């Protein structure tokens, strides 16, 4: 067997898997979506039909907010955890990264325990202000759940990136008169940009498509994955749910590509 | 040039020791005075505490309790580095990868709020001074090692620091480039009239650049002096052997003369001791006619290096002597050879150490 054909041979399983689990269903999805009564106009319906459009905007906003807050929280925490040694540090890291293994259902369950009708927050606020705060079943509950879901993943990426930072760069900036804020702005954050893009992309994509948490909490939350589910199972609207699925994928891909090209310069320079 | 020249601050390091959190004793309490405009070199083997001393002066490391750092008489011990107005050049250069060459050089000025046009003029001046014209808009990863070194230097002096701190700035470069940059650096430091503290483990670099050299050993100062002092009058065996090549011999003394297997050798110093440890530099030993020589020995080996030759002679002292001889002297292994050593060329060292 020549070297070349050996490489092709090794690629065969990949080709099979790609075809069976990726290409075929995708094609089927696209075909199904075009199959409905409206044909390709089903795609347009995502944007024109007010309920779909509101859901789409909701989902993107929720995912963007999740990404932003996750990055802020995880960067501060990751930087602190990587740079400081204190008793209990290992335990804290273990606790922060513990939710990694939880499926969305468990996360949803925990949000209900926290902010649901029998939740801890409700009990406390009842004692303090005489009113029971319940927000587990709203978009805020979902937001909290997504944070809980993404922060551990992002913290780990940021910690690895912080560990690779060259402390000498920060010292050089300080010797030139840079205040701690200026050092963060001019040296640390640019150097972390690739990690932000990589981990932010994962947080964003997860928040766009996560279903388990939404399903567990869902009473009155309109996000795309839930909409697809209801259209599919309850309304048996195959073509619309297929169009929504493709739309979800395309929009997520597009926003990630945008973020990447936006930060491309910073990433190239820091690389 | 005058626009760039700094004023140069006097530095006093008072009783500064350093024990790291893990208990490592990196520096024994030491006191150092560095005059305005002086270039002081910290020289010593790896791990002797040179960088630690530099970082204490910079403000990147706090000395142990009782230690003080003063600039022009003002106590700076608790002033953070960003307020000390020191320029630093790191061994790894530590250039900002997200900024161009010009932005790197101008960074300190930007932080100080210098207006853009004034900043550009200063950067242009430094670019010329450090010979990197044409590279202003390059990214850092598009520069060679020598060019990075120049950018690092330009960036550090751009802020007109009172003190310039350099931690092995040439170590990462190849030998030929190192020699050339050493010369350039020397001229620049003199032209700027800046107070400079230069860390190196290369004694040739220390000799050429230093007004004074501090030889360090295991966290302590072994000797401070001009390059000539250090070279010709080392106060310990460590300094003698660390700086240049040295023959160190031990022999009994008799009426002011060292009694050696190859003959007797008059010394200039204290003759009342029963025995002595003496240092003789290889290039101070002359080769003379065997018939009339006071000292004789047998040539062990000859290594010719072009401009000089290194002859190892045994049978003269307790161990073979290395002689750095002119290249025209004819000698080959096995020859009997006569040596002449003047009293001034002999430096007595303390017995133990
Ligand atoms: N942050 C630190 N924590 C603990 N020990 C340290 C720390 N920094 C340096 N040391 C130790 O202090 C001693 C002196 O280190 P220093 O870096 O000053 O040496 P140096 O003379 O600059 O050596 P080199 O020529 O290899 O750079 C070494 O034994 C080193 O291991
Ligand atoms: Mg060092």
Supply the DSSP string of A73-92, one letter for each residue.
HHHHHHHHHHH---TTHHHH
Q: Do B142 and B260 have their domain in common?
A: no
Mean pLDDT by 10-residue block, N- to C-terminus, for chain B (353 residues)? 58 94 92 94 94 95 94 93 93 92 95 94 92 91 91 93 92 84 88 91 91 95 94 91 90 86 80 82 91 89 91 90 90 90 88 67
pLDDT of residue A124: 87
Query: Which region among A47-51, A68-72, A142-146, B69-73 has the lowest average model confidence (pLDDT)?
Result: A47-51
Within-domain flag for B112:
yes
CA A208 to chain B, closest CA, distance in angstroms equals 32
Number of helices (H), then strands (E), in chain B: 8, 20
Q: Which residues make beta-bridge pairs with B225?
A: B213
Burial class (CB in 10 A: 0-12, 13-18, 19+), A217: buried
- The answer to whether residues B223 and B259 belong to one domain is no
Residue A154 scores a pLDDT above 60:
yes
Which pLDDT value is given to residue B121?
Answer: 94
End-of-domain residue from the set B213, B238, B263: B238
Which residue segment(s) compose the domain that B77 sits in?
11-238
Whether B243 maps to a domain, the answer reads no
B181 and B271 part of one domain:
no
* A270 — pLDDT class (breaks 50, 70, 90): very low
Residues on chain A touching B95 (C-beta within 8 angstroms): 172
Q: What distance in angstroms lies between residue A173's CA and the mean position of ligand 1's atoms?
A: 22
Is residue B62 in some structural domain? Answer: yes
B54 CA closest ligand 1 atom index:
18
What whole-number distance in Å separates Cα of residue B251 and Cα of residue B264? 10
Q: Are B195 and B10 in contact (CB under 8 A)?
A: yes
CA–CA separation, B45 and B51 (whole Å): 11
Atom 7, ligand 1: which residue's CA is nearest?
B20
Flag if A266 and B86 touch (Cβ within 8 Å). no
Q: What average pLDDT does chain A have?
A: 84
Do residues B174 and B75 share a domain?
A: yes
Here the CATH number for the domain that contains residue B219 is: 3.40.50.300
Last residue of a domain, one of B185, B209, B238: B238
Residue B334 falls inside a structural domain:
yes
In this structure, are residues A40 and A245 in contact, taking their beta carbons and an 8 Å threshold? no
Chain B residues lying within 8 Å of A85, measured CB to CB: none
Instruction: Answer whether residue A37 shows pLDDT above 80.
Output: no
> Residues in chain A, how many?
271
> pLDDT value at position A65?
94
Could you tell me the two tokens for A156?
A: 């780990």
B309 in contact with ligand 1, CB cutoff 6 A: no
Q: Which residues contact B198 (CB under 8 A, 6 or more apart)?
A: B39, B40, B41, B42, B166, B169, B205, B206, B209, B210
Average pLDDT over residues A112-129: 85
Cβ B104 vs Cβ B96: under 8 Å: yes
Distance CA B96, CA B103 (A): 9
| CA separation, residue A216 to residues A107, A223, B239, B325 (Å) | 9, 13, 76, 91
Give the model's pLDDT for residue B34. 95
Predicted local confidence at residue B154, as pLDDT: 93
* CA torsion angle A241 A244 A250 A255 (round to 10): -140
User: Could you tell me which chain B residue has the CA closest to the CA of A169?
Assistant: B94
**Would B295 be classed as within a structural domain?**
yes
**CA separation for the pair B120, B111 (Å, rounded):** 14
| Cβ atoms A148, A141 nearer than 8 A | no
Q: How far apart are CA B160 and CA A160, in angstroms?
A: 37
In our burial notation (b when 16+ CB lie closer than 10 A, e otherwise), range B276-289 reads: bbbbbbbebbbbee
Percent of chain A past pLDDT 90, that is, above it, reads 22
Question: What is the helix (H) or strand (E) element at residue A262, kind and residue range?
Answer: helix A238-270
Query: How does strand B39-43 pair with strand B195-200?
Result: parallel
**Helix, strand, coil fractions of chain A, as percent rounded to 5:** 85, 0, 15
CA dihedral (B67, B71, B75, B79) positive or negative? negative
Interface of A with B (CB under 8 A): 166, 168-169, 171-179, 182, 186-187, 190-191, 266, 269-270
For position B5, what pLDDT does the model report?
Answer: 46
Same domain as B130, residue B112? yes
Select the more confidently predicted residue: A221 or B255.
B255
Interface of B with A in 67-106 (CB under 8 A): 80-83, 85-88, 90, 92, 94-99
Residue B47, pLDDT score? 92
B4 φ/ψ angles, rounded to the nearest 5 degrees: -95, -30
Q: Are residues B298 and B323 in the same domain?
A: yes
Q: Which atom of ligand 1 is nearest to the CA of B219?
A: 14
Give the CATH number of the domain where residue B319 resides. Answer: 2.40.50.140
> How high is the pLDDT of residue B67?
92
Tell me: do B340 and B234 sit in the same domain: no
Residue B97 located in a structural domain: yes
Tell me the pLDDT tens digit for each residue of A174-216. 999 999 999 999 999 999 988 998 889 889 988 888 888 888 8
For residue B168, is it within any domain?
Answer: yes
Looking at CA atoms only, how far is residue A155 from chain B in angstroms? 23
Mutation choice for ligand 1 from B51, B61, B172, CB with most ligand atoms inside 8 A? B51
Of B211, B238, B265, the residue at which a domain comes to its end is B238
Number of domains forming the structure of chain B: 2
Query: Domain check: are B157 and B263 in the same one?
Result: no
Mutate to test the interface with B, among A85, A161, A169, A176 (most CBs of B within 10 A): A176
Distance B55 CA to ligand 1 centre (A): 11
ipTM comes to 0.84
In whole angstroms, give the CA distance from residue B111 to residue B44: 35
Kindly indicate the confidence band of residue A219, based on its pLDDT and cuts at 50, 70 and 90. low
What CA–CA distances, in Å, run from A261 to A161, A201, A266?
Answer: 20, 12, 10
pTM over 0.95: no
Question: Residue B346 in contact with residue B293, Cβ under 8 Å?
Answer: no
Question: Are both B284 and B161 inside the same structural domain?
Answer: no
pLDDT of residue A39: 67
Judging contacts by C-beta atoms under 8 Å, the chain B residues touching residue A177 are 82-83, 85, 108, 111-112, 159
Residues B279, B329 share a domain: yes
Same structural domain, B228 and B255? no
The rounded distance, in Å, linking the Cα atoms of A177 and B114 is 13
Determine, yes or no, domain membership for B1. Answer: no
Same domain, B214 and B284: no
Site to probe by mutation for ligand 1, drawn from B20, B44, B45, B47 as the one with most ligand atoms within 8 Å of Cβ, is B47
């Amino acid at each position: 067997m020549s070297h070349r054909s050996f490489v092709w041979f090794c690629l065969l399983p990949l080709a099979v898997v790609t075809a069976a689990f990726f290409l075929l269903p995708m094609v089927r999805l696209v075909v199904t979506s075009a199959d409905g009564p409206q044909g390709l106009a089903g795609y347009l319906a995502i944007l024109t039909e007010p309920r779909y459009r509101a859901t789409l905007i909701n989902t993107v906003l929720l995912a963007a907010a999740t990404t932003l807050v996750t990055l802020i929280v995880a960067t501060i925490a990751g930087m602190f955890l990587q740079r400081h040694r204190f008793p209990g540090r290992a335990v804290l890291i273990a606790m922060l990264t513990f939710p990694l293994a939880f499926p969305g259902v468990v996360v949803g369950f925990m949000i209900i325990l926290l902010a649901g009708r029998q939740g801890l927050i409700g009990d406390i606020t009842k004692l303090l202000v005489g009113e029971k705060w319940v927000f587990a079943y709203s978009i805020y509950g979902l937001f909290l759940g997504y944070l809980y879901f993404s922060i551990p993943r992002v913290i780990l990426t940021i910690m690895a990136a912080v560990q690779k930072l060259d402390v000498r760069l920060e010292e050089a900036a300080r010797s030139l008169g840079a205040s701690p804020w200026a050092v963060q702005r001019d040296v640390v954050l640019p150097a972390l940009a690739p990690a932000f893009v990589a981990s932010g992309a994962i947080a964003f994509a997860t928040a766009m498509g996560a279903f388990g948490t939404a399903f567990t909490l869902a009473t009155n939350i309109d996000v795309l994955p839930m909409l697809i589910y209801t259209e599919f199972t309850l309304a048996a609207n195959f073509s619309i749910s297929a169009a929504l699925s493709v739309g979800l994928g395309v929009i997520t891909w597009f926003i990630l590509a945008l973020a990447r090209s936006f930060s491309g310069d910073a990433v190239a320079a820091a690389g | 040039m005058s626009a760039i020249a700094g004023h140069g601050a006097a530095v006093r390091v008072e009783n500064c020791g350093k024990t790291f959190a893990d208990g490592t004793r990196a520096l024994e309490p030491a006191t150092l005075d560095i005059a305005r405009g002086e270039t002081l070199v910290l020289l010593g083997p790896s791990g002797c505490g040179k960088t630690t001393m530099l970082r204490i002066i910079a403000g990147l490391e706090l000395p142990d309790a009782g230690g003080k750092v003063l600039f022009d008489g003002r106590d700076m011990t608790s002033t953070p580095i960003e307020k000390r107005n020191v320029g630093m050049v790191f061994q790894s250069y530590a250039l900002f990868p997200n900024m161009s060459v010009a932005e790197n050089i101008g960074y300190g000025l930007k932080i100080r709020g210098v207006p853009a046009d004034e900043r550009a003029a200063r950067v242009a001046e430094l670019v010329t001074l450090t010979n990197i014209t044409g590279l202003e808009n390059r990214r850092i990863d598009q520069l060679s090692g020598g060019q990075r070194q120049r950018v690092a230097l330009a960036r550090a002096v751009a802020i007109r620091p009172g003190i310039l701190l350099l931690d092995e700035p040439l170590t990462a470069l190849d030998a030929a480039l190192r020699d050339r940059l050493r010369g350039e650096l020397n001229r620049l430091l003199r032209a700027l009239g800046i107070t400079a503290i230069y860390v190196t483990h290369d004694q040739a670099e220390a000799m050429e650049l230093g007004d004074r050299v501090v030889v360090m050993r295991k966290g302590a100062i072994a000797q401070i002096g001009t390059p000539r002092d250090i070279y010709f009058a080392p106060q310990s065996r460590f300094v003698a052997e660390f700086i240049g090549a040295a023959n160190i011999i031990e022999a009994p003394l008799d009426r002011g003369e060292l009694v050696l297997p190859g003959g007797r050798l008059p010394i200039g110093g204290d003759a009342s001791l029963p025995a002595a440890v003496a240092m003789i530099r290889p290039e101070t030993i002359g080769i003379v006619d065997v018939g009339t020589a006071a000292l004789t020995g047998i040539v062990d080996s000859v290594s010719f290096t072009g401009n000089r030759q290194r002859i190892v002679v045994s049978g003269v002292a307790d161990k073979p002597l290395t002689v750095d001889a002119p290249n025209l002297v004819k000698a080959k292994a096995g020859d009997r050879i006569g040596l002449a050593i003047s009293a001034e060329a002999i430096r007595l060292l303390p017995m133990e150490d």
